[in-house]
A and B are shown apart, each in its own frame.
Chain A
Amino acid sequence: MDLVLRGLNIKGGYEMSKVYVDAVNNVSLELYKNEIFGVAGESGCGKSTLVKILYGYIEPPLKLKSGSIELYSNDEKSFMISSLSLDDLRKTVWWKHISYIPQNSMNVLNPTTRVKDHFAEMYKTYTGMKKKEAYAMARKYVEDFGLPSDALQAFPHQLSGGMRQRIVIAVALLLQPAMVLADEPTSALDVINQRAALMFLKKAQERLKNTIVLVSHDMGIHSVLTDRMGVMYAGNIVEVGGTQAIFEKPLHPYTEALIESLPRLGDKSQRTGLKGQPPDLRQPPSGCRFHPRCPYSKPICQKEEPEHGKREKDRRVSCWIYAS
């Protein structure tokens, strides 16, 4: 499979005058062409921060401490996102090769401009198109996408949440980027609209054959939609693998607990959650960050960070249980 993005040993977090929040710690990952990669994990585990770093949108207090991110575009150019400035990213990488669907995406459209202006702005910024031409292009694009072209004339507040959601997805795919980062795109929608929006995204992905990184805390979404997934805990990706394989046989104790906690049809037994709280990332635990809550904790877990080691095909786990 073709590599689209390679992140190596990414370390980053929020640096304020006195404290440092260690939000992403030593994350390495490889993303391939034509796949939906899910990032799962509880609130505050660093999912959104990781996505921001992958996008290169690093503004204080967020800081990238070390690591590299390299993006390979459809036309086989490569971009070192981690070493480009915001201005360079804007000029050469963003939206043409990598785009973004933000959190709370049904409320991100500018309330005082029409929907068509959102498309026109993008054409104008990235292709230097004139306004009139941009409107015409937007109309054609939206129709090809299967969205009502009337929506273009509307102001955002006149549209339903689900429609605004789809508009934001359409904006993200406008210039056919190699990769789309979707940060909890549907968390504000009800389940029916959520399904519609996600199916819309998936269909577009199947057509464009690009890569989507889908961040969600909802394991149900991952099981339905993603091809591969990474599970994050306290700033680390603790396990990466095919979604199906992970659901069938979770390897990391945290993934195991996460999947164990999901309700199943017909099973009425009480779900037992994990004991304890996720750690304070201002002072993360030593060694493996999961050790205070881990049922299989060993002495070494407190002292040393486990390696993100390869297990089976396409499967990586960071846990001392599997250290030989």
Chain B
Amino acid sequence: MKKMESRKFKPLIAHMLSRLLFFLLTVWIGLTVTFIISRANPVDPSVTLISRLLSMGAHLRPEEILAMKQQIMELYGLEKPPYLQYLSFLKGVLSGNFGPSFTSFPTPVIDLIYNSLPWTILMLGFSTILSWVIGNIIGVLAAIFSKKRISRALEWIAMSLYPVPYVILALLLFLLFSLVIPIYKGVGGAGMTKFSLSFSFIAEAFKRLSIPAISIIMLSAASWFLSMKALALSVKGEDFVNYAVIRGLRRKTIIKYVTRHSLLPQITALALSLGYIFNGALITEHIFSYPGLGRLLYQAITGADYNLMLGILSYSIVGVATAALILDLIYPLIDPRIRYGGG
């Protein structure tokens, strides 16, 4: 027993090191795959850009076109052999330099991302955390009072809400709040791209943000609720909870037991969905013309803006992997079975 106590931190350090290694490996593989996919694309970005210029009415001679193509290729670093492109791409990720955007030339991709990121973090961070809290609290209560009628009613509501696509609910809410009850006169976040921390800005942002956020909160709270209820019900049936009941522990203690154990997997899921913030909420943001990463990604896809796409994708890869890493690092604090190995 003495020996075990003195060695107790070894598994912890091993755990952290292995997680860190996995993090680096995951990011590297993700970035590499992204790079390969982008280079495997048959569309030549320089041709796309020139044809766009031509279609806008520019008159160019063939030699000029060739020279321009050469210039663009150099600008984008596409004239170099693939392995050098790959290395400069990795370097770009590390330094945050993804080159200029194609569609909003010559603004650097990184500036576009930094403009949209706070908007997305604001909306998705807020709605993800709020829906997680709501869903889990109601879920645990519904599981503990599973025999009450209200618990079953809530489950029915969540079940019927859960499969509704975000698009449909967002559109419905949009119609409801702009036509039926016209309180949403806005154009989402458009026209207020400057992000600041003044009170008037926050009030304005809240107004514009609330309705797209509601559509996300309603649906994800329903899914958090369903998974929490299922988890808590199964924990409630476990031997150690039954033993706590037999031992005559207070109801409060038993609720604590059940909550703590069913929260463990929910924390995992929360961290992962916070990581997905970097993908943005593509459709919701588009419908409410909200200036977040989702809308930016939509623009990048429709405008064949490869640099921008690569930039957003790299961010989301690093975002998801970092969320998983943070989770792995804090997990030993909440589950002793990992802290002390075995189990």
Contacts and interface: CB of A to CB of B under 8 A. Distances in A.
| Mutual binders A and B | yes
Interface of A: 55, 57, 89-90, 94-95, 100, 102, 104, 107-112, 114, 121-122, 125-126, 148, 150-151, 153-155, 157-158, 171
B61 to A, nearest CB: 75
B247 A122 contact: yes
A125 B336 contact: no
A165 B335 CA distance: 22
Interface stretch (B120-128, B191-199, B235-243): B235-243
A111 B1 contact: no
A189 to B, nearest CB: 15
A112 B261 contact: yes
Contacts of B187: none
Given A90-B248, A100-B246, A122-B247, A155 B239 contact: no
Given A102-B246, A121-B253, A150-B2, A111 B240 contact: yes
A111 B343 contact: yes
Given A110-B257, A111-B337, A121-B253, A157 B342 contact: yes
A108 B242 contact: yes
Contacts of B245: 57
A126 B340 CA distance: 31
Interface of B: 1-2, 4-5, 239-240, 242-250, 253, 257, 260-261, 335-337, 340, 342-343
Contacts of A114: 336
A95 B243 CA distance: 12
A179 to B, nearest CB: 14
A55 B336 CA distance: 33
Given A94-B248, A100-B246, A155-B340, A110 B240 contact: yes
A112 B260 contact: yes
A102 B336 contact: no
A106 B274 CA distance: 38
B342 A158 contact: yes
4 interchain residue pairs of minimum CB distance? A150-B1, A157-B343, A108-B243, A90-B248
B337 A155 contact: yes
Contacts of B336: 111-112, 114, 155
Contacts of B337: 111-112, 155, 157
A181 to B, nearest CB: 10
9 contacts: A57-B245, A90-B248, A102-B239, A104-B239, A121-B253, A125-B247, A150-B1, A155-B340, A157-B340
A154 B98 CA distance: 51
A158 B247 contact: no
Given A110-B240, A112-B335, A153-B5, A57 B246 contact: yes
A108 B5 contact: no
Contacts of B4: 154, 158
Nearest to B337: A157
Contact of B248 (A125, A148, A158): A125
A110 B248 contact: no
A254 to B, nearest CB: 30
Contacts of A95: 247-248
B200 to A, nearest CB: 46
A111 B260 CA distance: 11
A89 B245 CA distance: 12
Contacts of B2: 150
A102 B249 contact: no
A110 B335 CA distance: 12
Point out which of B240, B246, B261 has the most chain A C-beta atoms below 10 A from its C-beta: B246
A112 B340 CA distance: 11
A182 to B, nearest CB: 12
A175 to B, nearest CB: 11
A132 to B, nearest CB: 18
A108 B242 CA distance: 8
Contacts of A157: 337, 340, 342-343
A110 B242 CA distance: 10
A107 B342 CA distance: 15
A63 B343 CA distance: 37
A109 B340 contact: no
A55 B247 CA distance: 11
A171 B245 CA distance: 14
Contacts of A111: 240, 336-337, 343
A320 B206 CA distance: 83
A153 B336 CA distance: 12
